[in-house]
Amino acid sequence: MGMVSEFKEFAMRGNVIDLAVGVVIGGAFGKIVSALVDKVIMPPLGLLIGGVDFSAWAITLKAASVDAAGKEVPAVAIGIGDFLNALVQFVIVAFAIFLMIKALNAAQRKKEAAPAPPPEPSEEVKLLTEIRDALKAR
């Protein structure tokens, strides 16, 4: 089997396609959550705390400066606000995944808990049932 045909067989498996769809949807969902956190959740939260802009919240270890050659040296800072934004985004994504997995597990349990239909009675049992019903009718 040639490499191209092997790759085609591999790529067309259901699991690979499902994984690709999941990655694309996950990337889009990540962008939605980033926008939600950065533009919707954090600004009112910062306003409630006292006008704090979380995206600009940082601890500056070394201020920006200009070296002897006239080149600007950027500041060295710890971006606490960026970390908090990422943390909130993670919690939202993790909670959404938790809810999805919980729903899938509940559906799986319901599917497994459904009772199987009783097996079809054998010919002997059917014959004995007919005899019993005939005797009762007398």
Structural domains in the chain plus CATH codes: 3-116 (1.10.1200.120)
pLDDT tens digits, 5-61: 888 777 777 677 778 888 888 888 888 888 888 888 888 887 887 877 777 788 888
Statement: residue 1 has pLDDT above 70: no
Alpha-helical regions (H) of the chain? 3-11, 14-35, 42-49, 80-113, 123-137
CB-CB contact of 92 with 83 (8 Å)? no
Verdict on whether the full-model pTM lies above 0.95:
no
| Residue in this structure with the two tokens 């092997």, named with its chain if needed | 6
CB proximity list for 52: less than 8 A, separation 6 or greater: 46
